[in-house]
Amino acid sequence: MTQEQSAQAVPAISILIFSDDLVSARLLKQILAHRGHRVQEVSKVPLLHAAIARQVPELILLDVIAPGEAVYALCQDIKASLATQLTPVLFVSAFQQVTDKVRAFEVGGDDYLTKPFHPAELLARVDRHLKLARLQQELAKEKLALEQSYAQLRAAHQRISLMSGVLTEHLTGVLLDGKYLLSAKLDSGGFGVVYRAEHVALQRPVAVKILRLQHPNLAESQLERFRREGVSTCRVIHPNAVTVLDSGVSPEGIPFLVMELLTGHNLAARLAQCGGVLPIAESLRIIEPICEVLIEAHAAGVIHRDIKPENIFLHSGPGGEVVKVLDFGIAILRGEDDRTMTSVTKLGATPGTALYMAPERVQGGRADGQADVYSLAVMLYIMLCGHIPFSVTHDDALRTMFSHSYEQPVPLHEQNPAIPSQLATVVMGGLIKDPGQRPTAREFLAQLRASALE
């Protein structure tokens, strides 16, 4: 390729030369112009700034005899400007001291060429820095475009999430996923809405839980929690655990769980109806099947972590009342996916309900089956006497969590002297601070059954 062909092959660009060496500046301009570049030469700082204001150059040459502090300061100003911070700055100087070169790089210079220079070396360095500058500029444009697209997607996601939170309350009459006809809303909470529905093909009544997506920042963790609820429940095969029949995301983007349809009310409602206290026999009749579910769950590697009256349903079945354990939404699954499941629930706050939270969970430790036993013991304590085990109010979550860790529970027989001493001892044993000293679900059940024979 001839020199003329090479000049035609290189696109014309803008190079600005600031020089106090007129001879060198003319030589630089001649070499660069012959290559096909558009070159402008200035000898005063105000003229340099004026030229940049008119058109930002693609490359700046600081052609000086001695690169003193004024030149270094000029380079710093160029690099500090938003308009020229990506513009390559090349020093061209007769000074060859290492200290001069180092200083030039310290103030933002991109290269340092000593005089006398060879034209081929000058052009090679200019070409290299122009290519790098173009890449940086393209990357900056792509980054800006991606940020703008992300902002638009985020805004759209937020609108969809907020709309989803509203729509979940108004799905009566909808045929979900082409299979489930939603007929009536049964319950509504912060995490989801439960509908009575019918599996149309099987003509079977079911309950469908719809995930409520309320904030885009939490959508991923909410979806994972919802998925975990289905997986955890399916691992626990027991007649006293609610049965999940199906799960998925509808073509309209609605996450759902299909469960057996229960009729009746939860334990919290039963306690409210009875003034906060249940007879001993009824309390044990409710607690024993919960223990059996926990034994099965722990054997399957599932730690429920949210045992409380609201998650215990008293189902009116054909053969009488059946206790059902609900809501495995914050359960931990022991096994190959333990780390994934655990990370989703650690979002800056301990998941669960403060009143029933075991000390090791309050303190951020590893939860095992004994944490569920602690929650169960708190619940049984309340069922038997109508009071919580500590000297705090129900609505003081922080003090309650502190009490779980550091305050000894009030002995059950002091709250209700009518409780048999052996039963009271069993309940208090479930409230031991050290999980290693606390009974397992199987041991707790055996102790309860033994106390009933007293």
Q: 433, exposed or middle or buried, with CB in 10 Å at 0-12, 13-18, 19+?
A: middle
Residue 333 host element (H or E): strand 332-333
Q: Which of 21, 100, 110, 306 is catalytic?
A: 306
| Site of tokens 């719809």 | 210
Buried b (16+ CB within 10 A) or exposed e, 316-349: eeeeeebbbbbbbbbbbbbeeeeeebeebbeeee
Residue 172 · residue 178 · CB < 8 Å: no
Give the span between the Cα atoms of 163 and 246, in whole angstroms.
Answer: 25
Residue 318 · residue 327 · CB < 8 Å: no
Residue 445 host element (H or E): helix 441-451
294 φ, ψ to 5°?
-65, -35
Buried b (16+ CB within 10 A) or exposed e, 356-381: bbbbbbbeeeebbbbbbbbbbbbbbb
Give the span between the Cα atoms of 104 and 61, in whole angstroms.
Answer: 12
Give the span between the Cα atoms of 5 and 35, in whole angstroms.
Answer: 10
Residue 409: strand, helix, or coil = coil
Of 396, 383, 361, nearest to 427 (Cα)? 383
Give the span between the Cα atoms of 423 and 413, in whole angstroms.
Answer: 9
Residue 190: strand, helix, or coil = coil
Regarding beta strands 175-176 and 180-188, do their DSSP bridges make them parallel or antiparallel, or are they unpaired? Answer: antiparallel
User: Is 306 a known active-site residue?
Assistant: yes
CA-CA distances (angstroms) from residue 230 to 57, 186, 208, 346, 395?
A: 61, 19, 12, 19, 30
DSSP H helices, 205-262, are 219-235
Residue 90 · residue 62 · CB < 8 Å: yes
Annotated catalytic sites, by residue? 306
